[in-house]
């Protein structure tokens, strides 16, 4: 039986971070991956393909809708085959960075197949059993498919299959209005489908700040049809179409669609690990709970990424991987902090989120201030003729930023300065001290931070004192 310092089950973002980091520090590492290629869902059916897909849709939409204002006419239609061929090219380029050869050249032993625990220190792949002093579970998650009558028989798409399709449906039903559902719905609408989104909740984007979700909802409603407080009850396939019964706010209605995309959440890939043989506990949904050092209840077995049920983001899995390397290889009691975890919803315009919302600040009884600027007041967005959006920064009574939110073209990029400032305990006033090139999209941050100084310097007693000073001494 081969023995390793670290066994990693799962070759996605988190697993690859641990494998490369541990090996570079001198540990003997085994990496187990069930798929043919490394990279995980993010590379093959998640982050990378979806962003390539969304970008293609955005370019088509811009060409069709913006060209007319400049006297041009655009004609022709695209197919999903053409779009997904472009998506595959993006995957292939990045796949080179996650190639088998790259990791085996580091001295990592790579096993292809399902890893199953046989004890708390041993894992079986096919017919080979290996031993690990410490084991990291990084098996990710997969789309959750709700038990809707007739859905399996009628057929459906998920984020794992949409990037393999060739034909654009005229009428598309999307079940679920979470980030994945909204991103793909918006892209499909811009490619040419009539998209109807069914969501059980009464509002969209409930995890976002209310000012942001209000603007986003109004934008999305221009291109998508939403059935809120609604639920799909039954699907029947007839004459190549899908007849769908939907409970719309208590009233049953029938609709006909060409295809159905299911995007109602994720379920952890823990069912084939045989965790009970290792004594690892799961919650009722199959996630592996961890402490702040990312240890399961079995202290030498760690869980990172989607499998631990915390934040289902690739960048979080990578950061958790870095934390685990320090704990597993170096023995440094490193804790994972989620205080400044950002996320972006890649609709158009993008939605940026870091820290808490105003509602959360209010519910926690925090004394807070809000600084908010519309992109209509930022010259670069005016020049771009793209002013839909805003920036909103929430501070505590000392001016420390506890939440920052934005919606606007490229906000996921130009709001990065705020993450750095929050991470380094800078106050909102510090952002105003930066020199931003003019005209620049990030000037939206400067305009927002300037409000802080305007409030401090140009109201209250200070203007009275300076007026007296000028009168007598200047």
Annotated binding-site ranges for NAD(+)? 176-183, 199, 265
Q: Do 188 and 217 form a contact (C-beta atoms < 8 A)?
A: no
Distance CA 46, CA 15 (A): 16
What strands, in cross-sheet order, belong to the sheet with 171-175?
A: 225-228, 194-199, 171-175, 259-262
Residue 439: is the preceding peptide bond cis (ω within 30°)?
yes
Q: Cα torsion at 188, 194, 198, 202 (round to 10°)?
A: 100
Distance CA 90, CA 115 (A): 29
Distance CA 365, CA 3 (A): 52
Give the residue numbers of the binding site. 51, 115, 139-141, 176-183, 199, 265, 306
CB-based burial, 337-375: b 16+ in 10 Å, e otherwise: eeebbbbbbbbbbbbbbbbbbbebbeeeebebeebbbbb
According to DSSP, residue 120 is labeled: S
Give the residue numbers of the binding site for FAD. 51, 115, 139-141, 306
Residues in the chain, overall count:
474
CA end-to-end span of the chain, whole Å? 86
H/E run at residue 289: none
Distance CA 148, CA 49 (A): 27
Distance CA 235, CA 205 (A): 26
Could you give the C-alpha distances from 442 to 95, 163, 235, 417, 421, in angstroms and in order? 32, 33, 47, 8, 14
Distance CA 226, CA 69 (A): 29
**SS3 helix, strand, coil % of the chain, rounded to 5?**
40, 25, 35
Nearest Cα neighbor of 290 from 32, 30, 46, 14 is 14
């Amino acid at each position: 039986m081969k023995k390793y310092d670290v066994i990693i089950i799962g070759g996605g973002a988190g697993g690859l971070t641990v494998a490369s980091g541990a090996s570079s520090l001198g540990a003997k590492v085994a990496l187990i991956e069930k798929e043919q290629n490394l990279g995980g869902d993010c590379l093959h059916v998640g982050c990378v393909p979806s962003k390539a897909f969304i970008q293609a849709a955005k370019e088509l939409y811009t060409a069709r809708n913006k060209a007319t204002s400049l006297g041009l006419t655009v004609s022709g239609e695209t197919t999903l085959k053409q779009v997904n061929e472009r998506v595959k090219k993006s995957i292939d380029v990045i796949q080179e960075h996650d190639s088998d050869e790259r990791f085996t050249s580091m001295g990592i032993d790579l096993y292809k197949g399902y890893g199953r625990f046989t004890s708390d220190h041993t894992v079986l792949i096919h017919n080979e059993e290996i031993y690990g002093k410490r084991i990291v579970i990084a098996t990710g998650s997969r789309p959750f498919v709700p038990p809707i009558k007739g859905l399996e028989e009628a057929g459906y798409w998920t984020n794992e299959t949409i990037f393999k399709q060739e034909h654009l449906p005229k009428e598309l039903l999307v079940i679920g209005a979470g980030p994945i559902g909204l991103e793909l719905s918006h892209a499909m609408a811009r490619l040419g489908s009539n998209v109807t989104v069914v969501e059980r909740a009464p509002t969209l984007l409930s995890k976002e700040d209310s000012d942001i979700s209000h603007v986003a909802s109004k934008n999305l409603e221009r291109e998508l049809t939403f059935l809120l407080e609604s639920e799909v009850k039954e699907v029947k396939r007839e004459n190549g179409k899908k007849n769908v019964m939907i409970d719309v706010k208590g009233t049953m209605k029938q609709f006909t669609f060409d295809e159905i995309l299911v995007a109602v959440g994720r379920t952890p890939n823990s069912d084939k690990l045989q965790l009970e043989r290792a004594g690892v506990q799961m919650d009722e949904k199959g996630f592996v709970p961890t402490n702040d050092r990312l240890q399961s209840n079995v202290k030498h077995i760690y869980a990172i990424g989607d499998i631990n049920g915390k934040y289902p983001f690739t960048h979080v899995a990578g950061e958790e991987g870095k934390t685990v390397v320090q704990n597993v290889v170096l023995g440094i009691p490193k804790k994972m902090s989620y205080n400044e975890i950002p996320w972006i919803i890649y609709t158009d315009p993008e939605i940026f989120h870091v820290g808490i919302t105003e509602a959360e600040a209010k519910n926690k009884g925090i004394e807070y201030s809000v600084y908010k600027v519309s992109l209509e007041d930022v010259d670069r967005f005016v020049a771009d003729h793209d002013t839909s959006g805003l920036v909103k920064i929430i501070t505590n009574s000392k001016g420390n930023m506890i939440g920052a939110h934005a919606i606007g073209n490229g906000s996921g990029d130009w709001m990065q300065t705020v993450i750095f400032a929050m991470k380094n305990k800078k106050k909102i006033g510090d952002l105003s001290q930066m020199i931003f090139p003019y005209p620049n999209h990030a000037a939206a941050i400067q305009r927002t931070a300037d409000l802080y100084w305007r409030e401090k310097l140009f109201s209250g007693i200070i203007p009275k004192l300076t007026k007296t000073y000028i009168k007598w001494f200047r």
